[in-house]
Structure 1
Amino acid sequence: MDFENTGELMMRRANASDWAGLAGIDSIAASGDHARRANIRRWCEQGLVLMTEDASGPLGYSVLEYTFFEQGFVTMLTVAPTARRQRVGTYLLKATEAACTTPKLFTSTNVSNHPMQRLLQRAGWSPVGLLHGLDEGDPELFYLCPSAQLGSQVEVGGPRSSR
């Protein structure tokens, strides 16, 4: 896949060597969570990560897997603390929607994660369920992407092609 370059931001598929840089912008991994760091490394090695960067380095990443009832699932979407509120999350979400190869794309977030809920609502995603028991006292909200937004013309990997 090729990708889009919007101004100073570049989106591409992460490779195995990108994991440490992504772990550095992930607040949980950067705080020393070894399991998160291992997950980031595995996701990068498996080619599941889309990342956005500028001249300073990585700004955010998303992970798209197909393990949720064989449908697309955004396992992780995170933006560097210094890049938040600059549409990086929207950019990542749109690229992930475009990359999805199944008829449905889901994600989930904790009830306490209001920024992610706002991002999903602004992007037109619909709440589809609530699950208790994953994180004590903080239920998980599940969302579904509108099917019309899946597999659009955005491409990941290089300069934007003219269409």
Structure 2
Amino acid sequence: MSIRLATCNDYKILCDIDSVAEIDGHRCEEIFNWIKSDSCHIYEKNDQAIGYGVLTHHFFGYPFIELIMVNKPFRQQGIGREIIEYFQSIYHSTKLFSSTNLSNQPMQNLFSRLGFKPSGSIDNLDEGDPEIIFCFSNMTQNS
């Protein structure tokens, strides 16, 4: 298993494994922009792209896990957890944020297991399904 920055050579395979790209034509454009901005990290196993994570720095100056995507046949195998733990290892000396919908209980549970704490919510992004903000901080984990 390895996680590395995605390159333009990874663009097509990332679009292929992204379940949202199947139904939203703009997703591949987003993937391209994430790659160009060095925000997209690809998860590979046995030289096969299985998933990716997007980590940006536009959340009030803090690193923010914008997206975790795992190819459908490989879901529920701990790959999302490994991608998040990779981001936690990179940003061990600062706060790390992410979010998920209130309806996405599996992701909320994963954040909790990995030491993230709820930090508020945003209404009106998805009608009737608030976005819950989560924060991970080693500084609060050790106290």
Q: What TM-score comes out, normalization by structure 1 length? A: 0.79
In the alignment, what sits opposite 2:18? 26
Q: Percent identity?
A: 34
Q: 2:55 aligns with which of 46, 64, 80?
A: 64
Post-superposition, which runs of at least 4 consecutive aligned residues in structure 1 deviate over 4 A? none
User: 1:18-57 maps to which residues of 2 (within 5 A)?
Assistant: 18-29=10-21, 31-55=22-46, 57=48
Is the 8 Å Cα contact of residues 3 and 44 (structure 2) preserved in structure 1? yes
Is the 8 Å Cα contact of residues 72 and 101 (structure 1) preserved in structure 2? no
In the alignment, what sits opposite 1:16? 8
Q: How large is the Cα RMSD of the aligned pairs?
A: 2.0
Q: Which amino acid counterpart does residue 124 of structure 1 have in structure 2?
A: G
Residue 119 of structure 1 pairs with residue 106 of structure 2: no
Is the 8 Å Cα contact of residues 101 and 131 (structure 2) preserved in structure 1? yes
Deviation per CA, 1:48-92: give whole Å up to 9, x if none. Answer: 111111236211111111101011111111111111111111110
Q: Which amino acid counterpart does residue 101 of structure 2 have in structure 1?
A: N
Deviation per CA, 1:28-49: give whole Å up to 9, x if none. Answer: 01x2312111111110122111
Q: Which amino acid counterpart does residue 40 of structure 2 have in structure 1?
A: V
Q: Which amino acid counterpart does residue 135 of structure 1 have in structure 2?
A: D
Deviation per CA, 1:88-143: give whole Å up to 9, x if none. Answer: 11110011122238721111111111221121111111011111111111110000
Q: How many residues are paired up?
A: 141
Higher relative contact order (CA 8 A, sep 6+): 1
Structure 1, gaps ≥5 residues long:
1-8, 150-163
Is the 8 Å Cα contact of residues 50 and 96 (structure 1) preserved in structure 2? no
